[in-house]
A and B are shown apart, each in its own frame.
Chain A
Amino acid sequence: MGRTLLRHRLDWFDTSASHLLRVMDTSLFRYAGDPGSWAGESFLHVGFAKRSDSASGISWRLWNRTNGLGAPDPSIAENAWRQWGQVRKAVGDSSLAGAVSLGALLEHVDPGSNSLGISVYQPSPQGLFGAGSWSAEGQWAGLGETPARVAGEWSDLFEGTSLRQTKTVLMGSLQASLAGDGSDTARLVAAHDSVRQRSTYLLTDRAQAQRNAQVSWSLPIGSQNMSVMGLWDRNRFEDYSGRNPGLVRTGVELDAAIRGRLGNGWRHEHSFQWTDEERVWKTPNTGTLLEAELQMAQDRKDQDDIAQRGLVDTIGWSLERWGGVGFALSLAQSLRSIRHPLNETPTTADRPDEDLSKRQLGVDLRWDRLSWSGRSVFTWSTQIQEDVYLRAVHSAQTWERNENRLGLNLAFPVADWFRPNLALWAREQRNVWRFLPDRREGLLEYGTTMGGEVGPTDAPWASLQWTRWQVKTGATVGEAFAPDRIQDEWLPELRGFVRDKSGWNVQPWVKLMWERVTVWDGSEWILDNRTISQRAGVDLRWESLHGILTGSVARVWDHFQADEWIGSMEAGLAW
């Protein structure tokens, strides 16, 4: 048996006049390897609430994880489970509400020889771990006619040596009109969320805290609409297992936009965004005092300051006449700057100081009669991208890219039973390196996809698509392009649709993929690589009021890999 996935999901509800009962059971098991073994997870959740007070109730959750089942060496097999039972009681209404809950958490781990510990320095835990838990929540919505919300939650598992889980959440929002007449909307949202988790089952020992505040205001100015938004956020992440570096990220963001109509079908939009972000790293201490000092020094050197600003100006024109036509011209400009202010003498192994500047001008033409699929009939864009490495140790990598793209899309119905489509595209790219004048690279790509669908719109009989493209890469000399590698691709695909009144839907299909790569060895073109992959299969689907059944069987003939069968099946039943 090859790689196999087995997945199931069961949802059961019992909703009588007096109570609500829900049972949910899911699992996912994988068989892989040579010789193979099974691994997987399952989850069971049972919840019960009285109909008169659905916010209160009891719930029980069981997670189970297993690995290495059926392996030739039984010592690698592992099993772990986690159970959490909770009783919750809520009081109040939509303006003022509170809830308390009591519960218990149990975790059990039976490790195998390959099992990992919570921390990279410790062996895998073994045995049963337990803790009690409690939480308190409150929610208030008030301030007269101004919607406001403050909610808090705090829960704590009574601390044990190997099991701990605490969480605090606090959030509030306020909405008002600064203009006073209600024509505008001002909003303030603030939130604090922190989690401390140490779990033998999840193999985690980490703390995360997020704080953010956002203020936004949108208002009409004549026939135009303006919006501004400011955001401050600070995230802290610590991983005590020693697997990932700690990170404190602090960011601010300012967005401003103005958009509106100018008459006679014309419209405009201008949006500006500015962000500034600081990232401070803390590598876990895994060794001696000297190693720790070296890691701290590297963390200081890696501290990032990332600033980004962007401006997008768009002017467009559209008419509903002639089947719907439109035109848009847009200019997008941005600059992303990365600095390492605490690294005064960077080496080649350090993170580089970098400026990435982009400018793109684009034209977009729309005529709905010729492209009813919603795509633009014609698109053209040109982009200049400059990637500058500022410090001397990295600056030889400084490079610039000029890129032009063209696209054409046509799709329109012929009679009521044939919907052909055609797309053509081309892309040209030139890369130059500022300090390496001999290094100049180019890329030329062009391709087409064409095909169509036959039959009524809501019940087609067959669809055919043919895609073909070619990519040439090589060096540029002045305006000339000297490709040294050509990649050719062909992708035909045919699919049929068969239905009957009892709910069966059968779709036989065939897909082919041919790829050919040729390279110039200095005197002639030689074949470097050829890949041929052919797939054929059948997708099945059956639907009725009480259930659904889907399945797929496919055969793959691959030039390089072993030929294989791929099958899947999913069944659902509702009663």
Chain B
Amino acid sequence: MVVKMCLSLGAILWLAGCDPFAAAEPETPSGSLNIPLAALANDVPRIWGDALAARSTERVNAIASEQLVVAQAGKILSGSGLTNCVVERLFNRDSLVAPRWTSSSWTQEPTSSSDTVRATTLYSLSKGEGARLAHGQAIWTVVRVSPSEWRLWRWDDDASSDSSMFSFCQGGVR
């Protein structure tokens, strides 16, 4: 009898078009605010940091070039490897504190191409006010992928650093 009651209730809800497990309708996206893009080469570190703070995989993918490579001392991590590392280790929804990224300098090298910039940056990654997860000096190569959009194309960590982002993603900073 209870089974019949449950089946009847389910049939009534289905016929009435009531779906208790359906998601709500989203608002129309508010244009460019959705995924911020780097209009200038030196916007890339800030946009990268904002993407981490927002724990947004979409925004990380939007600022990283599809061919992104992270390298240190001859070893290489692919862009998808970096994204997987960031998502698994920093974007945990149950984590109490959002990741915090700071880039304290941006020294550009002279270059002959107007679509490619190489710059030395000092960075630090932590969780909230807690201890640093990774920090060091890196050379970032950013490329212009459209007239008003720059993306991170290559990330070379300082070869002697034990605490680099490369080390963090390769199994933890020693």
| Binary contact readout B62-99 vs A (1 if CB under 8 angstroms, 0 otherwise) | 00000000000001101010000000000000001100
Q: Indicate if the CB atoms of A397 and B56 lie closer than 8 Å.
A: yes
Shortest beta-carbon distance, B65 to chain A, in Å?
13
A286 at interface (Cβ–Cβ under 8 A)?
Answer: yes
Q: Which 4 pairs, one residue from A and one from B, show the smallest C-beta to C-beta distance?
A: A355-B23, A396-B34, A392-B30, A395-B26
Q: Indicate if the CB atoms of B50 and A349 lie closer than 8 Å.
A: yes
**A244 with B26: in contact, given A335-B20, A348-B33, A393-B33 (CB under 8 Å)?**
no
A395 contact from B6, B34, B53, B128, Cβ within 8 A: B34
Q: Indicate if the CB atoms of A348 and B129 lie closer than 8 Å.
A: no
Q: Is the interface of A mostly helix, strand, loop or mixed?
A: strand
- Which residues of A line the B interface, CB within 8 A? 32-34, 120, 221-222, 224, 226, 242-245, 247, 258, 262, 268, 270, 283-284, 286, 309-311, 333-335, 337, 348-350, 355-359, 386-398, 434-435, 485, 517, 528-529, 560
B24 at interface (Cβ–Cβ under 8 A)?
Answer: yes
B6 contact from A242, A258, A283, Cβ within 8 A: A258
Residues of B within 8 A of A528 (CB): 78
B58 contact from A386, A388, A397, A517, Cβ within 8 A: A397
B36 at interface (Cβ–Cβ under 8 A)?
Answer: yes
The closest CB in chain B to the CB of A333 belongs to B21
Q: Indicate if the CB atoms of A393 and B130 lie closer than 8 Å.
A: no
B11 at interface (Cβ–Cβ under 8 A)?
Answer: no
**A390 with B26: in contact, given A242-B129, A244-B128, A245-B96 (CB under 8 Å)?**
yes
Shortest beta-carbon distance, A449 to chain B, in Å?
23
CA of A268 to CA of B22, assembled, Å: 25
B109 at interface (Cβ–Cβ under 8 A)?
Answer: no
Residues of A within 8 A of B174 (CB): 32-34
Residues of A within 8 A of B97 (CB): 244-245
Q: Indicate if the CB atoms of A355 and B2 lie closer than 8 Å.
A: no
Q: Indicate if the CB atoms of B34 and A244 lie closer than 8 Å.
A: no
Q: How large is the interface on B (under 10, 10 to 19, 20 to 34, 35 or more residues)?
A: 35 or more
CA of A221 to CA of B2, assembled, Å: 8
Q: Indicate if the CB atoms of B28 and A395 lie closer than 8 Å.
A: yes
Shortest beta-carbon distance, B8 to chain A, in Å?
13
Q: Indicate if the CB atoms of B21 and A335 lie closer than 8 Å.
A: yes
**A243 with B34: in contact, given A270-B6, A390-B26 (CB under 8 Å)?**
no
CA of A485 to CA of B96, assembled, Å: 35
CA of A354 to CA of B6, assembled, Å: 29
Q: Indicate if the CB atoms of B78 and A357 lie closer than 8 Å.
A: no
In residues 23-46 of chain B, which contact A (Cβ within 8 Å)?
A: 23-30, 33-36
CA of A317 to CA of B59, assembled, Å: 48
Shortest beta-carbon distance, B133 to chain A, in Å?
14
The closest CB in chain B to the CB of A3 belongs to B174
**A357 with B2: in contact, given A348-B33, A348-B54 (CB under 8 Å)?**
no
Q: Indicate if the CB atoms of A393 and B34 lie closer than 8 Å.
A: yes
**A357 with B26: in contact, given A242-B129, A349-B54, A396-B35 (CB under 8 Å)?**
no
Q: Indicate if the CB atoms of B53 and A349 lie closer than 8 Å.
A: yes
Q: Indicate if the CB atoms of A120 and B129 lie closer than 8 Å.
A: yes
Q: Indicate if the CB atoms of B129 and A389 lie closer than 8 Å.
A: no
CA of A247 to CA of B94, assembled, Å: 12
CA of A311 to CA of B80, assembled, Å: 35
B3 at interface (Cβ–Cβ under 8 A)?
Answer: yes
Residues of B within 8 A of A394 (CB): 34
B1 at interface (Cβ–Cβ under 8 A)?
Answer: yes
CA of A435 to CA of B26, assembled, Å: 10
Shortest beta-carbon distance, B107 to chain A, in Å?
27
A392 contact from B2, B24, B27, B78, Cβ within 8 A: B27
**A247 with B22: in contact, given A348-B34, A435-B29 (CB under 8 Å)?**
no
Q: Indicate if the CB atoms of B21 and A395 lie closer than 8 Å.
A: no
The closest CB in chain B to the CB of A116 belongs to B131
B26 contact from A222, A243, A398, Cβ within 8 A: A398
Residues of B within 8 A of A389 (CB): 26
Known: A245-B96, A387-B23, A397-B34. 11 other contacts (CB 8 A): A221-B2, A226-B2, A245-B97, A333-B21, A334-B21, A348-B59, A390-B24, A390-B27, A392-B28, A394-B34, A397-B58
CA of A270 to CA of B56, assembled, Å: 36
Residues of B within 8 A of A222 (CB): 1-2
A selection of 28 A-B contacts at a CB cut-off of 8 Å is A226-B2, A244-B128, A244-B130, A245-B97, A245-B128, A247-B96, A258-B3, A270-B6, A309-B20, A348-B35, A349-B53, A357-B22, A357-B23, A388-B26, A389-B26, A391-B26, A391-B27, A393-B33, A393-B34, A394-B34, A395-B27, A395-B28, A396-B58, A397-B34, A435-B29, A485-B80, A529-B76, A560-B75
Residues of B within 8 A of A310 (CB): 21
